Each structure stands twice: as structure tokens, then as C-alpha cells.
């Protein structure tokens, strides 16, 4: 099925460990995003990539890095995990910009990360 695929679905890390969350979309979307979802906070944008080859910080980028590997893939890396990074992480993608139309996002099913 077409859509956004995230791996892994669940992960437990120890404080200080590193890991990379993977995201891939097969809809030929230009823009991709990483959000985190925390109780009572809604969704907060970590990083986004407007198009292949570009990345920009969102609201809460500290402690994270991203790579737009190609048009399909956008990974999120935690270099030294902290308990404050315990959250559910969502990747999303959207159509190209400046098309005169308004598109919503397509979301992946999320990665539930616990840092102990």
C-alpha cells in the first residue's frame, strides 16, 4: 500500500545511546517532516525537508539531526538519547509546494521511543 513507512515501531534506549529512526514514502512527495507527540502538547515539529537536498529546523530541534537521503527517505537521528526524548515520533510527507493547491500531510504510523 502506498504511504509513509516508519521503522522501528517500538524502541527502548538507555540514556546516552544513539539511534536512527527511518522513514520512507512512495508517493513521490517533495516535502517530508518529523514530529514528536507528547501528552498535552500535541504535535511539535522537529525538522522538515522542503525538498530533496534541503533540511530545516522546526520548533524543537535540539538533540536531533536529520538526513534527507533521497527523495523517498528522511531519517531522524538521536546522537545521545535523554529521557526527555521519550515520545512518539511521526514522519509525514506532502506534495510539492507552489502548485496553487492545498494538500494535507500523509503520516506514518509512528515510532514509540522510551529512553530509560
Separation CA 98–CA 13 (nearest Å): 40
Asked if residues 106 and 4 have their Cβ atoms less than 8 Å apart, the reply is yes
Position among 1, 14, 62, 98 found at the interface with other proteins (CB under 8 A): 98
What CA–CA distance (Å, rounded) separates 62 from 10? 22
- For other proteins, the closer of residues 17 and 45 by Cβ is 45
Q: Rule CB under 8 A: choose which of 1, 2, 42, 62 binds other proteins.
A: 42
Binding mask 76-95 for other proteins (x = CB under 8 A): --------------x-x-x-
- Closest contact distance (angstroms) between CB of 71 and other proteins is 15
Within 13 Å and on the Cβ side, how many CA atoms surround 20? 11
Site string for other proteins, 54-73 (x = CB under 8 A): ----x---------------
Comparing C-alpha atoms, which of 16, 25, 20, 26 is closest to residue 8? Answer: 20
CB atoms within 10 A of CB 15: 11
* Contacting positions for other proteins (CB under 8 A): 4, 31, 33, 40-43, 45, 48, 50, 58, 90, 92, 94, 97-98, 102, 104-110
Amino acid at each position: 500500500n502506498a504511504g509513509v513507512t516508519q521503522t522501528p515501531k517500538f524502541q527502548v534506549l538507555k540514556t546516552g545511546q544513539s539511534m536512527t529512526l527511518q522513514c520512507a514514502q512512495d508517493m513521490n512527495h517533495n516535502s517530508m517532516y518529523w514530529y514528536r507527540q507528547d501528552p498535552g502538547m500535541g504535535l511539535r515539529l522537529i525538522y522538515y525537508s522542503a525538498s530533496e537536498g534541503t533540511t530545516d529546523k522546526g520548533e524543537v530541534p535540539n538533540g536531533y539531526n536529520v538526513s534527507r537521503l533521497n527523495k523517498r527517505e528522511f531519517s531522524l537521528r538521536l546522537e545521545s538519547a535523554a529521557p526527555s526524548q521519550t515520545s512518539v515520533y511521526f514522519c509525514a510527507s506532502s506534495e510539492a509546494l507552489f502548485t496553487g493547491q492545498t494538500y494535507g500531510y500523509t503520516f506514518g504510523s509512528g515510532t514509540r521511543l522510551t529512553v530509560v
